Chain A
Amino acid sequence: MLPEVFAALPGAYLLLTPDLRIAAVSDAYLASTFISRSQLVGHFLLDAFAAEPGTPEAATMSNLRASLQQVVTTGQPQQMPVQHYRIPNPEVPNAVLERYWQSLNTPVFGPDKTVIGFVHSVTDVTASHQAAAHLAGAQAREQAALAVLERERLQLKALLEQAPVAIGLFEGPDLRITAANPLLSAMWGRSQEQVLNRPLLEAVPELQGQGFQEIMQQVSETLVPYVGKEVPAHMLRNGQLMTSYYNFVYQPFFDQQGTVQGVLDVAVEVTEQVLNRQRIEAQEQQTSLLNEELQAANDEILANNVELEYAQHQLRQLNATLEARVLERTHQLANQQLLLQQIIGQVPALVATLRGPDHRYSFFNPYYDTFTAGRVRLGASVAEVLPELVEQGFVKLLDRVYATGEPFVGREIAMLLHNPNMGQDEQYYLDFVYQALLDGQGQTQGILVFAVDTTKQVLARRQTDTLQAAVRRQKEERENVFQLFEQSPAVICLLREPDHRIDYLNPAYQALFPGQQLRGRTLAEVQPEAKALLALFDGIYQTGTMQFQTEVPVTITPPNGQATSTRYFDFTYQAYLEQGGIAGVALFGLDVTEQVLSRSRVQELNEELASINEELRASNEELGDTNEQLSRTNADLDTFVYTASHDLKVPITNIEGLLDALSRDLRGHSTAESVPRILSMMKESVTRFQQTIGHLTDISRLQQESSTEVESLTLAATIADVQLDLAPLLQATGAHITVSITEVPELPLSPKNQRSVMYNLLSNALKYRHPDRVPMIHIHGRRQADGVELQVQDNGLGLEHWQQQRLFGLFQRLHSHVEGAGVGLYMVKKIIENAGGNVRVLSDTNTGSTFTITLPLAPDRSAFISA
């Protein structure tokens, strides 16, 4: 009966004699090794499993022999470490199957306590061994990945902290601030600690009613990014609310599953620019330009998002694959568990048989004994010896199996066992089977308990899960920070090491170098011509000093030969710190192209205006000259008209008065003798009226014909002619005239004007003679560098100073005793001035007057002529 029972055991067992001959083998053993019973039973162990020296199989056999020896020596069961032993593949000739085995060698004692044999039990642990090895490998890789992610996370977090643009993340309906870099909290006038993890309006209450949280909520709902340009905000500055201006972008922020996690805010304060621009008059709307640019940036970001979604999809597929593998592994474990369930006796599993409805121990193996710390006794019930299992429901499970005959299989069931040595309960996880033991009639008479302690695996897996969760969480966190930079409109680049190797760059930075691979290259490779920039970076790397460059032109060269474009940036370079030391240089750039262009447009306009102003000023000067000339002419004309009208009115007024007097005389029949006198005076008035009209006609003719005559007459001839005209007066006064004009044969005037000038000067000299002196008149002509000078000197009455001022006025008569119309000298002056010359008088009441005329040789015909 024994060999049959042994053969039917549900585990893989060999029964060995003390001289290591195989006495019996279980069917399960044959099944797992693909060897027939006849190849084993009766053979020596080492013959049956002969192995090539140097192979794992040879080592296994050597270990087995040593272990059995140990069993003999100690009399104790001997657990062997997992052994590598390959078996022939029954389906493929000359091929082997990889197998790992766990073995337990248990002594079988005779009545005299001597070893009469060994039970060699083996368990195929290939699956779990490989799983464990795989798990260990995975853990190592995850640890490594975690280290990389941690480094990147720290790096980006430090960048976030040091960034010169304000960056924040707001989550949930109350816009809880889950990220805010120092610049953003400084914008709010608060510390990071004051705002982090608080709802926006609770952290920054002054924003209430300014509309920002409504926009954020809208962005979060519609997923449409919001771009704010130069938006005024009332912020706390030094404890006071001040208006400042911001450029910002609110955009939906997605987590790795593609669901909206919150709203990302990237903001730059532009107060100074706005105020500057408000001072200058900006004439063009720049908003549309900026919007277009941001739209382009947005398109890029959207494209990025598509890429990220694709990556996420791949990750999900990978996850699915991994899950399938876990399922498979679980299935394998379940199989293995069924195998274990069949093992009884001295197997590395808890095996016991219970009898009767109150589950009294009829068998338990040593392992079971050890596991329960020696508390179980044959014949005692489970509830008696392990009372803690009652309240954990195990006894009820046993009751049910006993009642129904259905087996119960538990996987990784938690169990608290009391450890009397430690005085406390200990946590175990067990895979176990409660199987009904049936009698010949199929009636339940007991329960087979078969359990495997899986505590270590469970704990290991839990640890793995925890580890994986930590990796996932950190990856998400890193992803958040990463996205902050990826989606930022600011240009960001991080260069490490003394040779400034580009370690990180965001898409905005990449856009400056379209089509170029940047990551991993040094600054000198990317911009070989920028020596000064290289020196700047060296300086920052060595000293840690922050540097700024404003309005730097950046030429963007598309790779496909399209036209280059230039944009302007304000750059900030700062040392990037890691563990308190300088690890690299961080570059932040803000696009200020619009400001620069608008200012240069204003400058161009200003220059244009300045040159127009200059032109206007020149033409104004010209106009001023003309205007002055016109004013003078106008004043002349004004005086002329006034004087002419006065001299025309006087005789008319006289005639009017004389008519009144005449009618009065005739009415009164009084003085008949007065009538002829009145009539004579009327006639005189009419004559005077006609004379005045005649003078005015002369003057207007003079002004019309000033530049037309061409004939010439010598000055000497003219003077002789005039002397002839004045002959009666010359004879009457006995005047002497001397003429000295050899230098000036001719005045640059028309003969008629030359005569008019000479007639007036000579007749005046005679008319205003001194009563006590014989008139002496001297005419003297002199040639000068640019013209001629003619003097007419007399020894007459002379003129008072006030008279000299009025001398040349129209209808001015300075002497009451001499007849005159006050026209002569006016005409002289006009003739001389029209010819571009001038006339002046030097006079003394004791010695007489000297009239001096100067005339240019080439009369300036274009000189302004009053008409």
Chain B
Amino acid sequence: MQKLSSILLVDDDATTNYLNESLLRSLNVTDKFIIARDGLEALSLLQSQCVAPTTSCPALILLDVQMPAMNGIEFLEAYQQLPQEHREAIIIVVLTTSMHSRDLARLHELPIAGLASKPLTEEKINTILQLHFKRQLPH
């Protein structure tokens, strides 16, 4: 399977970031991980790294909702305002524990590719790859 260029993990919980990174690494999905502790950090990362012609822009963002400073929804609202070249070909999947219906409704209006409930598993990663990257994990 062809590996993804890089994955951005956005979560204020260090344990979660550790778990997701170690799972993705063990499945050989990518070799490059970028970690952000809240929305603000993620946003500045994108602004600095996704300007053409650099190629360090992440192919996939796994985004938490409940975060201090800037939460996932606020991040997506700000992300929408970014110039087109910062957003090109980035797949954003939102990881949730529990969702308030108000937030869920808001999410559907924002540029996300999908939702996945925590914790992340092999099956969920495979589904994301099949749906959004036309590839799957080797058996």
Contact = CB atoms under 8 A, between A and B. Distances in A.
Interface of A: 638-639, 642, 645-646, 649-650, 653-654, 656-658, 660-661, 664, 668, 674, 681, 684-685, 802, 811-816, 822
A681 B15 contact: yes
A816 B16 contact: no
Given A646-B66, A654-B13, A660-B19, 15 more contacts: A645-B98, A646-B97, A650-B13, A653-B97, A653-B119, A654-B19, A656-B119, A657-B20, A660-B23, A660-B119, A661-B19, A661-B23, A816-B38, A816-B41, A816-B68
Given A645-B98, A646-B97, A816 B15 contact: no
Contacts of A681: 15, 18
Given A684-B15, A815-B68, A816-B38, A657 B119 contact: yes
B125 to A, nearest CB: 12
Nearest to A670: B26
Contacts of B100: 638-639, 642
Interface in B101-139: 118-121
B19 A814 contact: no
Nearest to B121: A660
Contacts of A660: 19, 23, 119, 121
A622 B38 CA distance: 45
What's the interface size class on B, roughly?
Answer: 20 to 34
Interface in B4-40: 12-13, 15-16, 18-20, 22-23, 26, 37-38
B69 interface: yes
20 contacts: A638-B100, A642-B100, A649-B97, A649-B98, A650-B66, A650-B118, A653-B118, A654-B13, A654-B15, A657-B19, A657-B23, A674-B22, A802-B74, A812-B68, A813-B12, A815-B68, A815-B69, A816-B68, A816-B69, A822-B68
A657 B68 contact: no
A661 B121 CA distance: 10
Contacts of B68: 812-816, 822
Contacts of A661: 19, 22-23
Contact of B120 (A642, A657, A814, A815): A657
A646 B98 contact: yes
A819 to B, nearest CB: 11
A214 B38 CA distance: 96
B12 to A, nearest CB: 6
A657 B20 CA distance: 9
Contacts of B37: 816
Nearest to A812: B68
Nearest to B67: A816
B26 A664 contact: yes
B10 to A, nearest CB: 11
Contacts of B38: 816
Interface string B58-80: 00000000111100001000000
B71 to A, nearest CB: 9
Nearest to A650: B97
Contacts of B13: 650, 654
Contacts of A685: 15
A658 B69 contact: no
B24 to A, nearest CB: 12
A812 B23 CA distance: 29
Contacts of A811: 66
Contact of A814 (B66, B69, B98): B69
B16 A654 contact: yes
A656 B23 CA distance: 13
Contacts of B41: 816
Contacts of B23: 657, 660-661, 664
Nearest to B97: A649
